[in-house]
């Protein structure tokens, strides 16, 4: 199975990048399934049902979220109806939505997807390491092809998750920090890993936001309303090739498209 995972989609520029480049990428790499992190897809913070529907219409087949899952209150009332959307699995019990999902392809193959959120420099949710193992053991009864989105701030926490899950899933991909890292590799037991897939959104920005507003906040400490930047955009992603029978990754390749 060829899996394309697209890093954090930021606002309208990020969504436009997918419309522009996804058909070419799918054709060039022979992609079977497209997964994207969509937690910043609506105005740079959060996601709405309409924006998620737009992403699905553009060719995305599954969407993961993160720490901005509930920024748009309308999502809380509808996420339970969205079969191909996952929020972090280690959110507290009783939170709407689900932390994992299985997406079936027309040829019968299935991809299990787990969404996690880190705890370092973020809100103290349940242990992502324990939850990951529980979710993967359950999904493995359905399919050996398993993908984990580790949405976390600290590179050390994402790297630790990769080693923790080596041999337990096809891939662990890091999201949230919006800067693509150059450490993609296949770990010894067959799990593909990258610390951060990167961002899909405005290039001349501070992780997607207007530069001057962010710089002013760093210099003064005063709050300001962040806005999605304008100008040229980029698409950051990885292609993972996983064995259909064993689930082990054969390769992982970074993709970076710029306007």
Task: Note whether 171 and 136 are within 8 A (CB).
Answer: no
Closest CA to 177 of 138, 150, 210: 150
How is 116-130 classified by DSSP, letter by letter? Answer: EE--TTS---S-HHH
Alpha-carbon distances, residue 190 vs 121, 161, 169, 255 (angstroms): 29, 14, 8, 21
Annotation marks residue 164 as catalytic: no
Cα 99 from chain centroid? 13
Closest CA to 132 of 116, 151, 156, 113: 116
The three-point CA angle 164-168-170 to 5° equals 110
Task: Note whether 4 and 235 are within 8 A (CB).
Answer: no
Task: Tell me the C-alpha distance between 87 and 100, whole Å.
Answer: 8
Report the residue count for the chain. 259
Task: Tell me the C-alpha distance between 101 and 87, whole Å.
Answer: 10
Burial class (CB in 10 A: 0-12, 13-18, 19+), 61: buried
Which residues are known catalytic residues? 68
């Amino acid at each position: 199975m060829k899996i394309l995972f697209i890093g954090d989609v930021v606002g309208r520029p990020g969504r436009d990048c997918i419309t522009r480049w996804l058909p070419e990428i799918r054709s060039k790499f022979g992609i079977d399934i497209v997964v994207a992190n969509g937690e910043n897809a609506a105005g740079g913070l959060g996601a709405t049902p309409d924006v998620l529907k737009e992403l699905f219409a553009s060719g995305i087949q599954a969407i993961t979220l993160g720490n901005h899952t509930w920024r748009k209150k309308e999502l809380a009332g509808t996420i339970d109806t969205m079969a191909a959307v996952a929020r972090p699995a280690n959110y507290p019990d009783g939170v709407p939505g689900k932390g994992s999902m299985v997406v079936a392809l027309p040829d019968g193959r299935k991809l299990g997807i787990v969404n996690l959120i880190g705890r370092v420099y973020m809100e103290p949710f349940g242990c992502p390491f324990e939850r990951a193992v529980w979710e993967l053991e359950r999904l493995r009864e359905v399919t050996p092809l398993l993908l984990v989105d580790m949405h976390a701030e600290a590179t050390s926490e994402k790297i630790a998750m990769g080693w923790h899950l080596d041999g337990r899933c096809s891939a662990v991909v890091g999201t949230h920090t919006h800067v693509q890292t150059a450490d993609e590799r296949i770990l010894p037991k067959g799990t593909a890993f990258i610390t951060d897939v990167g961002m899909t959104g405005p290039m001349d920005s501070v992780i997607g936001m207007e530069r001057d507003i962010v710089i002013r906040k760093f210099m003064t400490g005063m709050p300001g309303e962040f806005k999605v930047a304008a100008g040229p955009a980029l698409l950051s992603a990885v292609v993972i090739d996983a064995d259909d029978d064993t689930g082990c990754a054969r390769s992982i390749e970074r993709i970076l498209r710029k306007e």
